[in-house]
Chain A
Amino acid sequence: MGLVGIATEKILSSFSVFLFLTIILLAVARRISTSVLLFSLQSAIITAEVLATGFQEKLASAYLVGILIFVIKVVAIPRAFFVLTKRLKTVHDVKASTTPSQSVFVVAVMIYLSYAAVHSYGGAVRAPGDSLAAAIALILTGAFLMVSRKKALMQVLGLLVMENGIFLAALLTTFGMPLVIEIGIFFDILMGLLLMGIFMFRISDTFEHLDVSKLRRLRG
């Protein structure tokens, strides 16, 4: 099989634990920059898994997708986040609405739930159970981040983590959807991020802060 073969196999079956670690650390991160770094680490791990899948299944499109992910999610988006943080002059605090201990507890429960879900749906998929559970845990964590973080930037980050999770789930269960669709999804995400960036500028200009929990004018 060769060294690369062994490496890819190991990657696919065991990298999920590092994803779990990034999830837990995201729950306790207290600065935006830390969270963004964790996100790019996550994306790097997912890139590794994509490339490993491509190697195993001999799919050329997987390589392309992997490179795309790397460029967009590991390099471009974190860069954009840092630039935005500087431009918007936000304070670095993540402004979570739950303490780190509570967040970690919630995340641990989510990880447990995702494992339980994977096991109950059992052999429906031909993917390593760990990684699928990691994907579901990513989705849940992304949702949790969006709900519990009060800064607009962190909400966007939560969304991105969710997308990571969905993408990983798609990768594991289907080993590649038609390339056009994948590219389309990427494009959508990019445009979405662009728009969110525009909106964040407007929010900070008009309201002079990025705390979305204070956006409560409209009610009822």
Chain B
Amino acid sequence: MKIMVDILQLLLLILGAPLVRGIIARFKARLQKRRGASIWRPYVELFKLLRKEDLTPPTSSAVFRLAPVLLFGCTVCVAAFIPVAHVSALLGSRGDFFLLVYLLGLGRFSLSLGALDGGSAFGGMGASREALISSLAEVPFLMGLVALAILSSRADITGMVAWTLHQNIFNISTVHILAFTSLAMVVLAETGRMPVDNPTTHLELTMIHEGMLLEYSGPSLALIEWASAIKLHAMLALLIALFGPWGMAAGGSGWGLATALLLYCAKVTVLMVLLSVIESAAAKLRMYLVPDFLGVASAVSALAVIFTMWVKR
């Protein structure tokens, strides 16, 4: 029974991902006084891409073809770690947060390799920028999670969530607020959103994530796009689970799960609105300022870790 619930959570994360993307795009459009595309548009795109032919550049090797698959696999694994409506996940206790971070890293790495293998200039440029950003983002990501791990004395995500569930919601925890700030900044960097990267840009010179996709087409492109949508959804779910899990079902009762699911939808909606607002309000940072942005995230996460020494909350 638990397995069923966990599989359903995973499916929710995977299948709901394009919807999340669509909703965010719609919010942004509305904020910018446009009408925007329908929220189901990403699904249409995915189907379209799956039916098309997969072209590969003549100079590429197997790496180019394998990269999207590897990326998709890693991202699905990551999604399997994150509890959504129930305080457990499919791969829940089999790996800790280090595994999570580095699975994401592996996915990114394979995509970068694929982009480099594609042989285009923009692929290389995007890959190198992505490498910079991800190496800088790794520190705050890890440290924020370390701070939470120290507090909850558990290393796996589900354990941390369970610990947080037992805390009083009104005890504002300094460590949590600091960790949330830094992890939020990391999410912006990891998922390639403003102000770090513009996901809707057409100009190749400003592309980071998009630059790596330029050579891909057909099902490979579908896999990559889907993987990045899943990553976004999973990161949002991670934030919710770590910092606002109250309402999650601990038992297996149907009603409990249903309410947990509804609560989750509400929380995700809040985060999506927040993300849309930030994206519309912030201008994209120039490349040399991104390290500063992530430096702030690092400092905040370092403070979070330091505070675990004193605060003990």
Q: Does A173 contact B (CB under 8 A)?
A: no
Q: Tell me which of B120-128, B204-212, B216-224, B291-299 binds A.
A: B291-299
Chain B's closest residue to A9 (CB) is: B170
- A10, A24, A112: which contacts B172 (Cβ < 8 A)? A10
Could you tell me the distance in whole angstroms from the C-beta of A217 to the nearest C-beta in chain B? 34
Bound: A104/B295 CA distance, A: 8
**Interface residues in A4-26 (C-beta closer than 8 Å to B):** 6, 10, 14, 16-18, 20-21, 24
**A interface footprint on B168-180 (CB within 8 Å = 1, 0 otherwise):** 0011111001100
B177 & A101 in contact (Cβ 8 Å cutoff): no
Fill in one digit per residue for B147-187: 1 if any A CB lies within 8 Å of its CB, else 0: 00000000000000000000000111110011001000000
- Whether the pair A24, B174 counts as a contact (CB closer than 8 A) is no
Q: Which A residues lie within 8 Å of B302 (CB)?
A: 108
0/1 per residue, A8-47, Cβ < 8 Å to B? 0010001011101100100010000000000000000000
In the complex with contacts A17-B178, A115-B310, A119-B310, A101-B170 CB distance below 8 A: no
| Residues of chain A with a CB closer than 8 A to B307's CB | 115
CA distance A111 to B307 in the complex (A): 10
Contacts of A111 in B (CB 8 A): 303
- Assembly CA distance A24 to B292 (angstroms): 13
Please report the C-alpha to C-alpha distance between residue A129 and residue B307 in the assembled complex, in whole angstroms. Answer: 12
Determine whether the beta carbon of A24 is less than 8 Å from that of B177. Answer: no
Selected contact of A24 from candidates B171, B300, B306, CB within 8 Å: B300
CB within 8 Å of B: which of A62-119?
Answer: 99-101, 104-105, 107-108, 111-112, 115, 119
Instruction: Compute how far the CA of A104 lies from the CA of B299 in the bound complex, rounded to whole angstroms.
Output: 7
Question: A130 vs B172: C-alpha distance in the bound complex, in angstroms?
Answer: 12
Contact B296 A17 (CB under 8 A): no
Main secondary structure of the interface of B (DSSP, over half): helix
Residues of B within 8 A of A130 (CB): 174, 311
Question: How far, in angstroms, from A28 to B171 measured CA to CA in the complex?
Answer: 28
Interface bin, chain B: 20 to 34
Query: How near does chain A come to B176, taking the closest CB pair, in angstroms?
Result: 9
- B-chain residues with CB within 8 Å of residue A6 when the two chains form the complex: 170
CB-based contact B292/A99 at 8 Å: yes
* Distance to closest chain B CB from A81 (angstroms): 22
**Are B172 and A17 neighbours in the complex by a CB distance under 8 Å?**
yes
Cβ contact within 8 Å between B172 and A101: no
Collect the chain B residues with CB atoms within 8 Å of residue A10's CB: 170, 172
Q: How far is the CA of A108 from the CA of B300 in the complex (A)?
A: 8
Residues of B close to A99: CB separation below 8 A: 292
Contact of B292 among A17, A100, A107, A115 (CB under 8 A): A100
12 cross-chain CB contacts under 8 A = A14-B173, A14-B174, A18-B177, A21-B177, A24-B303, A28-B292, A28-B296, A101-B292, A101-B296, A108-B299, A129-B310, A130-B174
Chain A residues close to B by CB (< 8 Å): 6, 10, 14, 16-18, 20-21, 24, 28, 99-101, 104-105, 107-108, 111-112, 115, 119, 129-130
13 more A-B residue pairs beyond the given contacts A24-B296, A104-B295, A111-B303, with a C-beta to C-beta distance below 8 A: A6-B170, A10-B172, A14-B171, A17-B172, A24-B300, A99-B292, A100-B292, A100-B296, A104-B296, A105-B295, A108-B299, A112-B303, A115-B306
What 5 A-B pairs have minimum CB-CB distances, sorted nearest first? A101-B295, A14-B172, A17-B174, A104-B299, A100-B292
